[in-house]
Structure 1
Amino acid sequence: MPQLQAFNLCYQHRNGDVVFNDLSFSLTAKVTALIGINGCGKSILASILAKQKEPSSGTVICNSALGFYEQMNDVNLVDNLTIVEAIGLEPVFKALHAINQGQVTEQNLSLLEGNWDLEERFNAELVRLGINNKTPNSLSKHLSGGQLSQLKLWALFTCIKPDILILDEPSNHLDTKGKSWLIKQIHNFKGQLLLISHDQELLEHAYEVWELTTLGLTQYGTCFSEYQTQKQQQVAALENKLNHVVKQQSKLKAAEQLQKQKAQKRAGQGAALRKSGSQPKVLIDAKKDKASANLSSQSKNTAKREGELTRNKQELSSQLEQTKAQQFYLAQSGDAKHQKVLSLENVVLAHGTQKPLNLQVFSDDKIHVAGANGTGKSTLLKTLTYDIPLKAGQLHCNQALYYLDQHFTLINNKLTLLENVMTYCNNLNESTARTLLASIGFKKDAVFKHAAVLSGGEKMKLAMCIVSNIESTAFLLLDEPDNHLDLESKQLLAQSLQGFKGGFILVSHDKYFVESIGCNRQIGL
């Protein structure tokens, strides 16, 4: 019997928007991948399965111990927590400390089962991650996003060890070495795993793929590469059906026009006969009544057929919209002039690498910053905006810089999407702002949603839209903008950055993403 099942799940926001409806499924494969475009409800579904959210209706049955790795969308939520609090091991460490103080209770013994050597293993993990001079009670804000992510995953895989594990975007913030470690943990995990991810390298290790859309949950009993093939065939079939319906509509309109022309011709002939008096009036009136009845019947049939074709077109268009990739738009002003933007002279960062940095950056540069977790990539970007002070050296900036971090702190959750864009982009009128929002998937009344209800990927798309349209001379600092984005949006963002006329400094661990952009410089930390 499956250990995790869901029946008729529905979730609805307080404003009445339905996220998903009537989802029923059973987790049976060792590794199941849950995919879908940003905002379709994957993280909400994961929270419901982990009993952290209540569904609007429906039931979840779990007969085994379940662990949940949750996306870290807001860094401020863990800033003031200790490391063990942030990774969920505080009760275990407290139990260990209590037993060492002589407080031997059944609850403490239960918590420590299999974890008597926790302190030694924890310290060894800190060493592996290159985290120096930190204790379990050090504040988590002193770790990089990648280091904290790996520690949270390590706690789940090696200390908590549940029977079922739900991982929501576990590779976000991980460097190449960290991702390899994660893949090894997934392979060695003895239980069942539900993997929510947009990372192609991770998805290749799934046994089954589930896709969540507004149309429901489609279960593909295949690996990810086979799913991609089936998906392409599905899109092609929908496009063919839609093209066929459009052609039928065109033919129907042409036939309707021809009927009108024939009716007009017959009416003209009847008028001429009536005027000539060559046929009795009663006969002419009978012919006219019969012709009118035929025309009315034909018009009703045509209208019925038009209605059927229109409904088919709308249904196919809706399916295709949920199946095909969304758009991603970056402002494309004139070509950026080759002007010096930044100058770093013997700069030493407050955190991360302590090697002095000497660097000159120009307005048309597209620079990729590479390096392992903890080497100071995010610190470098925050130093350039003066958010973190220099430890040593000189920094000169000659142009406006716009920093987009991995936690979307740019976005005001209390404002609507439209208000966010209008607040930052003073040069845009409301019509242009709505057009920009429509181009990234927020159409019609969706612009009045509050940013707080957006998914991580939707927030990143909104933030990218804002920073690229603030002003034409903006130089962008992009801290892992590909995190949280669905596969299609990630590809479209790469294409947009490749064609972006301005300059940017990019931090990313995704080699596929970086290669597809075509950066002209790389900095290694």
Structure 2
Amino acid sequence: MPKLQAANLSYQQANGGQVLNNISVSLNAKTTALVGRNGVGKSVLASLLCNRLIPSSGNVVCNGQLGFYEQLVDSHTLKNKTIIDVLGLNHYFKALQQINNGHFTEHELNLLDGFWDLPERFYAELTRLGIYGINENSCATALSGGQLSQLRLWALFTIHHDIIILDEPSNHLDKQGKSWLLNHIEQFTGQLLLISHDREILQVADEIWELTSMGLSVFGTGFSDYVTQKNYQVAALENKLSHTTKKQNKLLLEQQRSKQKAAKRAAKGVVTRKSGSQPKVLMDAKKDKASANLSSQNKNTAKREELLNSNKKHIVSQLEQIKQQQFYFTNPDIKQRNALNLENVILQYGSQTPINLQIFNNEKIHLIGVNGAGKSTLLKTLTDELKMRAGHIHRNSPLLYLDQYFSLIKAELTLLDNLKSYCKTLDESTARTLLASLGFRKHDVFKQATHLSGGEKMKLAMCIVSNIESTAFLLLDEPDNHLDLESKQLLAQSLQNFKGGFILVSHDNYFVESIGCNRQIVL
């Protein structure tokens, strides 16, 4: 019997929007990958399987210890939590403290069975990551996104689980971090459900679950074979659709020609009847025969038309209807001028080497560094969100910062209200057009932002920063995180065509190369 299975699972949001409908699936392979476009419901399905959400109908059965790595961590929550709170290890450390103080029960002893050396392992992991001057009670915000992600993953793999669900685990990880993750996935002896858009990570899967707007399909193959099989299926369906459309067009042409011939025969009959060259009884017989033939042809044509329409409807029902998307950036004519000057700046976290930089407003800069080097810290320092230890910063352009946690998005507001609250010059029609270009159409714009997936939040955040201030210099902290492959390519094209300047943090070299950054800064 599978350790994790779902039967007839459906989920409806509070606003009535149906996210999942009648999903039945079992976890059978050692490593299963759940794939699908942004907003299709992958994270919702994961939360249902973990009992973080209650389904509208259906049920989930889990026979084993289940661990869950959530994709999104709220930045405001992090400010009030210690590192071990975020890692979910606080009860282990408290149990150790109680035992050391001589106040414990059998529960604490059982809990720590196999984990007596957990503090030593925790500090060994900090050392491996190059993190010093931090302890388990330090605030989680003292760590970079990549460092915190690796520690969360380490904790999940350290504590015994029969099943682990990983939702976008490679987000924020540098090359070394991703290699570490792949190694731990390979060594894990339980079952894994892996949600990702990262092709390198997806290669480890033995089975693929594909979630689309039409439901869930299971492919009993690895990722590469799934892509080949899926492309073949789509190509075959598109070929059938094209063939059926050609038949419909041919039938329409036949109908038009048949009508033209019938009209010519009728006109000829009128002329003949008027001339009196043939008896009336013969002319009436010919007319009746022609009418009967035409009626028979019309019935036959109607049947063929109905069959073709039915076939086309069936083919279309098997093809996912994909909304066309596009990122739109405000593109004013920008004259080159100095945007930022950094003089002997020493950051609060990360590299303690003094930074001296001169940055122009039309430069497209790729900011490079390993996890913990201080990339996000530098961006936060530029916006004055973090204070520097030393040095001076001269800001000559307005700055717009998109952080890893979409902090600018107000969860309680709708998509439309979020956009209009920042881009005050936009009328409602223009705002809705911009949102529609990213796939948020009709009533979607009235959805609360709290219900968005990670990829959808990133799209909304990019829509805001690209339209809020035409002359702003952008600070983009891993904007490609959470995005599906198509959306990532669209964003790269838009940033390539963007006439303004930005500092970009990304660990995806292909994404960076697609943009065409003209400068690198290494921390």
Following superposition, the deviation at residue 486 of structure 1 comes to 1.6
Following superposition, the deviation at residue 102 of structure 1 comes to 1.5
Following superposition, the deviation at residue 346 of structure 1 comes to 2.0
Residue 390 of structure 1: aligned partner:
388
Following superposition, the deviation at residue 238 of structure 1 comes to 2.5
Measured in 2, the distance between the counterparts of 1:283 and 1:97 equals 112
Contact conserved, 2:31 with 2:191, CA < 8 A, in 1?
yes
Residue 257 of structure 2: aligned partner:
258
Contact conserved, 2:71 with 2:167, CA < 8 A, in 1?
yes
Matches within 5 A, 1:48-447: 48-158=48-158, 160-278=159-277, 284=283, 287-288=286-287, 291-292=290-291, 294-295=293-294, 298-299=297-298, 301-303=300-302, 305-310=304-309, 312-313=311-312, 316-317=315-316, 319-322=318-321, 327-331=325-329, 333=331, 336-447=334-445
Counterparts in 2 of 1:354 and 1:48: CA distance versus 1, 3 Å: same
Following superposition, the deviation at residue 336 of structure 1 comes to 4.4
How many equivalent pairs are there? 523
Following superposition, the deviation at residue 516 of structure 1 comes to 3.0
Counterparts in 2 of 1:349 and 1:18: CA distance versus 1, 3 Å: same
Contact conserved, 2:332 with 2:471, CA < 8 A, in 1?
no
Contact conserved, 2:72 with 2:454, CA < 8 A, in 1?
no
Q: Please give the TM-score of this superposition, normalised by the length of structure 1.
A: 0.92
Residue 448 of structure 2: aligned partner:
450
Measured in 2, the distance between the counterparts of 1:96 and 1:183 equals 31
Following superposition, the deviation at residue 89 of structure 1 comes to 0.7
Following superposition, the deviation at residue 228 of structure 1 comes to 1.9
Contact conserved, 1:325 with 1:488, CA < 8 A, in 2?
no
Counterparts in 2 of 1:332 and 1:243: CA distance versus 1, 3 Å: farther
| Equivalent residue in structure 1 for 2:484, among 483, 486, 489 | 486
Counterparts in 2 of 1:426 and 1:258: CA distance versus 1, 3 Å: farther
Contact conserved, 2:327 with 2:437, CA < 8 A, in 1?
yes
> SS of the residue aligned with 2:102?
coil
Contact conserved, 1:336 with 1:503, CA < 8 A, in 2?
no
Q: Which amino acid aligns with 2:499?
A: K
Contact conserved, 2:175 with 2:507, CA < 8 A, in 1?
yes
Counterparts in 2 of 1:430 and 1:295: CA distance versus 1, 3 Å: farther
Measured in 2, the distance between the counterparts of 1:302 and 1:75 equals 64
Following superposition, the deviation at residue 196 of structure 1 comes to 0.9
Structure 1: runs of 5+ lacking an equivalent? none
Measured in 1, the distance between the counterparts of 2:314 and 2:460 equals 28
Contact conserved, 2:213 with 2:320, CA < 8 A, in 1?
no
Q: Which moved more, 1:477-486 or 1:263-272?
A: 263-272
Measured in 2, the distance between the counterparts of 1:193 and 1:220 equals 16
Quote the sequence identity (%). 65
Q: Which amino acid aligns with 1:373?
A: N
Following superposition, the deviation at residue 265 of structure 1 comes to 2.0
Q: Which amino acid aligns with 1:422?
A: K
Instruction: For residues 260-310 of structure 1, give each alpha carbon's deviation from its aligned partner in whole angstroms, at most 9, with x where no partner exists.
Output: 222322332343344445556666556555545554554455455445544
Following superposition, the deviation at residue 98 of structure 1 comes to 1.2
Instruction: For residues 125-172 of structure 1, give each alpha carbon's deviation from its aligned partner in whole angstroms, at most 9, with x where no partner exists.
Output: 2222232222222221222222221111111111x2211111111111
Following superposition, the deviation at residue 115 of structure 1 comes to 0.5
Counterparts in 2 of 1:267 and 1:37: CA distance versus 1, 3 Å: same
Counterparts in 2 of 1:271 and 1:325: CA distance versus 1, 3 Å: closer
> SS of the residue aligned with 1:212?
strand
Following superposition, the deviation at residue 497 of structure 1 comes to 2.3
Q: Which amino acid aligns with 1:45?
A: L
Instruction: For residues 426-485 of structure 1, give each alpha carbon's deviation from its aligned partner in whole angstroms, at most 9, with x where no partner exists.
Output: 454444433333332223333332222110101111222232233443432111111111
Following superposition, the deviation at residue 332 of structure 1 comes to 6.3
> SS of the residue aligned with 1:134?
coil
Contact conserved, 1:175 with 1:509, CA < 8 A, in 2?
yes
Measured in 2, the distance between the counterparts of 1:181 and 1:72 equals 20
Q: Which amino acid aligns with 2:80?
A: N
Counterparts in 2 of 1:54 and 1:286: CA distance versus 1, 3 Å: farther
Measured in 2, the distance between the counterparts of 1:262 and 1:122 equals 87
Q: Which amino acid aligns with 2:249?
A: S
Q: Please give the TM-score of this superposition, normalised by the length of structure 2.
A: 0.92
Counterparts in 2 of 1:423 and 1:315: CA distance versus 1, 3 Å: farther
Structure 2: runs of 5+ lacking an equivalent? none
Following superposition, the deviation at residue 35 of structure 1 comes to 0.9
Q: Which amino acid aligns with 2:246?
A: K
Instruction: For residues 167-195 of structure 1, give each alpha carbon's deviation from its aligned partner in whole angstroms, at most 9, with x where no partner exists.
Output: 11111112222222111111111111111
Counterparts in 2 of 1:421 and 1:285: CA distance versus 1, 3 Å: farther
Q: Which amino acid aligns with 1:262?
A: K
Measured in 1, the distance between the counterparts of 2:192 and 2:273 equals 84
